[in-house]
Amino acid sequence: MPISTAPYKRTYAHTKSRGKEGRVRCGLCGKLVPRYKTFTKYRGFRISDPVLRKQIGRYRIHTSSQKIYVCLSCARFRRIVKPGKSVRKKHLKT
C-alpha cells in the first residue's frame, strides 16, 4: 500500500521568523487569512487568439492582470487546488 499523500503539498513557509504574520483578505470570499496559507491567482483580461490580437493592435487594447490571494477553502471549492481525499482512503474504498 502506498504512503498517504495529500492532494496538494502543504508547504506553509512562514514569511517572518518572529512576531505576527501578515494577514491578507481572500479575493473571493473576503476572509482574513495569514499570507503564508494563501494561494496566488491572477485575475484579468487576456486575448489568446493571435489573429484577433494582430487585428486589434497591441497598443489599442489594455490588458491588465491583478494578483489576488485565495484562502484554502475557496481554492478547493474553485478547483485552484486539486480537492480530494488521500491516496490511502481511496484505496480502502475499492
Sorted by where each begins, the domain ranges of the chain are 23-93
Rounded distance between C-alpha atoms, residue 27 and residue 74, angstroms: 9
**CATH for the stretch 23-93:** 3.30.1740.20
pLDDT digits over 34-68, tens only?
988 889 998 888 777 888 878 887 777 777 788 99
Q: Which residue has the cell 484579468?
A: 44
**Mean pLDDT for the stretch of residues 19-32:** 90
Q: Percentage helix, strand, coil, to 5, in the chain?
A: 25, 20, 55
DSSP H or E segment with residue 44: strand 39-44
Query: What is the pTM for the complete model shown?
Result: 0.61
